[in-house]
């Protein structure tokens, strides 16, 4: 092989093998500090996250305020159990140190209440050298794999905005359910995949003399479990309760959360009549009667929003009409644990509508709406031209009609994407709206996007650095992410099959690109055009950009039958 061909092959391989397997973000340098006012109620809510380890019962301690989520220590006879492990190794370290001062007993087990990263990405620190069992519901495994799969890029970009992880000092007041999310470019993922799972409704355990009942309780996630300590009358409700109106829909982007299942899970908790409630976000609650009333109000608020949304749906209302009508009743709206610090009633209404009926509002006008640019052109005509459109945006801003100013600026920017005046005005409107929000999620999103519009920050994808975690990702998760990266224009005339063999795991995969569609099958194809043989561990490192693919090919770590440049051409059909 000539040097020039080798150089071309290296460049091409580096381009086509870079499918990132763990989502996160980083950004270009941004202001060290921003000046932003805050909603007084949201600011007051920060007291909920005073950093401390609270002893809630004999042998039960909860670490509050160290990161987005809490971590809970259960001390037994000859060991401890840790429930949830924070969002990164860095967030977990001070919690681990605090727990070690309480008990030096070995960690016998770690329990994940669900798959969200803020509950599972600090596990390596919490586990230490004790090699504990990692326990979860069986469906948690699939959700963990999905995190690094199909929608990881856009979900994490939006999560970066929701949690304000790139906002400089003065931006984040709190995150509604925790003081902040300690996960940025410099943080380390310390995930350990579950080693023991259970299916069905519940799992009863005794670990280090501690009786535990793990109950599958769908709510904020479908894999959610709550943990009941019958001897202590202590309930760990996971994320099915925290001191905020619940996130029935998360603006970072989530599948539909079945809110009626959430209500039923809360009813199961109420029936236990706990004397101590230890959420995985926000502070504990004490007293059988207070807990019962709190959980009752919480489930009633969820059911109220659900039932009234459906009621108005059945009257033929659209989502925009329904959000104007569904408001919590006075006896619920005043409860401090139902203030909209994290979720909102309006977002919940829209999610419930979509969960039942899908995207279509029911108004025929919405069946085939005008493309955004064409709509902007017609709005500009109504306004008297593009210049008048911008003047209308300025007038709306001056009259403090910030939402309308945003919408008009968007029309201007669709027609002139580089219009500096429109960008500056949109950023100012976003910042002003953000300062007013009681919902931390909305505030963080507004303020982050304001900085993006101004060009002060750029959200990018995080580079992998955790070798063990990359190796733990199943091949299925890697290949399942492949089909959505196929470029239909490049592949419109392609009909080609590539077979992958992984000798170290005994697995095989088929990728058949057929005129704009990539069919993936977990088996080797009958008559592949190209065959790739590579160890799964090496392939994962290449995909995660931890290994140079050209060097792996030259060393013989990758073997290709059918032509190296044919493979390069095939992989170029997929977006990197």
pLDDT greater than 90 at residue 32: no
pLDDT tens-digit readout, 220-272: 999 999 999 999 999 999 999 999 999 999 999 988 999 999 999 999 999 99
CATH value at residue 124: 3.60.15.30
Structure tokens at 282: 């926000």
Residues 119 and 206 in one domain: yes
Rounded to whole angstroms, the Cα distance separating 546 from 471 reads 11
Residues 506 and 492 in one domain: yes
**461: which strand partners?**
25
Whole-Å CA distances, 294 to 222, 243, 287, 291, 307: 22, 10, 11, 5, 20
pLDDT greater than 90 at residue 575: no
pLDDT tens-digit readout, 445-490: 999 999 999 999 999 888 778 888 889 889 998 898 888 999 999 9
pLDDT tens-digit readout, 373-425: 999 999 999 999 999 999 999 999 999 999 999 999 999 999 999 999 999 99
| Domain edge (last residue) among 294, 322, 354 | 294
- 268-272, 409-413, 510-514, 546-550: which range is least confident on average? 546-550
pLDDT of residue 404: 98
56: containing domain = 25-294
pLDDT bracket for residue 16 (50, 70, 90): very low
Residues 493 and 433 in one domain: no
Residue 351, helix vs strand vs coil: helix
Burial of 42 (C-beta count, 10 Å sphere; 0-12/13-18/19+):
buried
Residues 6+ apart with CB under 8 A from 112: 84, 85, 119, 120, 134, 135, 136, 140, 194
Question: Quick check: is 358 in a domain?
Answer: no
pLDDT bracket for residue 30 (50, 70, 90): low
Q: What is the mean pLDDT of residues 124-129?
A: 98
Give the rounded percent of residues in the chain with a pLDDT score beyond 90.
83
Structural domains in the chain (count): 3
pLDDT of residue 12: 40
Q: Residues 543-557, buried b or exposed e (16+ Cβ, 10 A)?
A: bbbbbbbbebbeeeb
CATH value at residue 10: 3.30.1050.10
Whole-Å CA distances, 407 to 152, 249, 413, 445: 28, 23, 10, 16
pLDDT greater than 70 at residue 545: yes
Whole-Å CA distances, 67 to 19, 85, 223, 342: 29, 10, 22, 15
Rounded to whole angstroms, the Cα distance separating 87 from 175 reads 14
Residues 283 and 384 in one domain: no
User: Which of 229, 347, 337 is closest to 291 using CA atoms?
Assistant: 337
**DSSP H or E stretch at residue 136:** strand 133-137
């Amino acid at each position: 092989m000539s040097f020039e061909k080798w150089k071309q092959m290296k460049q091409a391989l580096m381009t086509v093998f870079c499918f990132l397997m763990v989502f996160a973000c980083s950004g270009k340098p941004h202001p060290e500090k921003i000046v932003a006012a805050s909603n007084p109620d949201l600011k007051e809510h920060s007291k909920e996250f005073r950093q401390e380890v609270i002893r809630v019962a004999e042998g039960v301690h909860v670490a509050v305020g160290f990161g987005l989520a809490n971590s809970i220590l259960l001390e037994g006879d000859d060991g401890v159990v840790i429930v949830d492990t924070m969002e990164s190794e860095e967030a977990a370290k001070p919690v681990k140190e605090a727990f070690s001062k309480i008990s030096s007993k070995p960690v016998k087990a770690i329990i994940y209440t669900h798959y969200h990263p803020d509950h599972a990405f600090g596990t390596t620190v919490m586990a230490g050298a004790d090699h504990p069992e990692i326990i979860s519901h069986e469906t948690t495994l699939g959700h963990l794999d999905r995190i690094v799969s199909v929608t990881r890029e856009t979900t994490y970009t939006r999560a970066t905005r929701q949690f304000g992880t790139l906002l400089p000092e003065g931006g984040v007041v709190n995150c509604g359910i925790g003081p902040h999310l300690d996960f940025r470019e410099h943080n380390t993922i310390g995930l350990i995949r579950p080693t023991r799972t259970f299916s069905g409704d519940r799992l009863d355990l005794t670990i280090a003399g501690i009786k535990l009942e793990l109950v599958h309780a769908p709510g904020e996630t479908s894999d959610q479990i709550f943990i009941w300590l019958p001897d202590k009358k202590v309930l760990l409700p996971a994320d099915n309760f925290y001191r905020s109106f619940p996130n029935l829909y998360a603006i970072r982007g989530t599948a539909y959360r079945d809110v009626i299942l959430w209500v039923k899970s809360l009813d199961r908790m109420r029936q236990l009549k706990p004397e101590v409630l230890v959420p995985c976000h926000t502070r504990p609650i004490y007293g059988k009667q207070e807990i019962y009333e709190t959980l009752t109000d919480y489930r009633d608020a969820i059911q109220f929003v659900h039932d009234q949304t459906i009621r108005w749906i059945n009257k033929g209302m659209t989502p925009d009409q329904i959000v104007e009508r569904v408001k919590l009743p006075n006896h619920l709206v005043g409860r401090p644990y139902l203030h909209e610090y994290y979720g909102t009633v309006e977002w919940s209404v829209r999610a419930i509508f979509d969960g039942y009926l899908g995207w279509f509002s029911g108004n025929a006008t919405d069946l085939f709406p005008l493309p955004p640019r064409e709509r902007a052109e017609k709005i500009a005509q109504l306004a008297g031209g593009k210049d008048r459109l911008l003047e209308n945006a300025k007038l709306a801003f001056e009259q403090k009609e910030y939402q309308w100013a945003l919408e008009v600026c968007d029309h201007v920017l669709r027609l002139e994407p580089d219009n500096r005046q429109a960008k500056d005005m949109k950023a100012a409107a976003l910042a002003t709206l953000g300062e007013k929000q009681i919902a931390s999620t909305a505030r963080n999103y507004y303020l982050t996007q304001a900085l993006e519009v101004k060009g002060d920050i750029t959200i990018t994808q995080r580079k992998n650095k955790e070798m063990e975690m990359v190796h733990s990702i199943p091949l299925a998760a890697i290949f399942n992410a492949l089909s959505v990266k196929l470029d239909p224009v490049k592949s419109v005339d392609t009909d080609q099959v590539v077979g992958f063999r992984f000798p170290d795991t005994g697995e095989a995969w088929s990728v058949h690109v057929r005129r704009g569609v990539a069919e993936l099958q977990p088996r080797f194809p009958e008559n592949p055009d190209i065959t790739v043989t590579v160890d799964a561990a090496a392939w994962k490192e290449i995909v995660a950009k931890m290994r140079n693919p050209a060097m792996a090919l030259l060393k013989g770590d990758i073997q290709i039958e059918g032509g190296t440049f044919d493979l390069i051409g095939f992989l170029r059909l997929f977006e990197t």
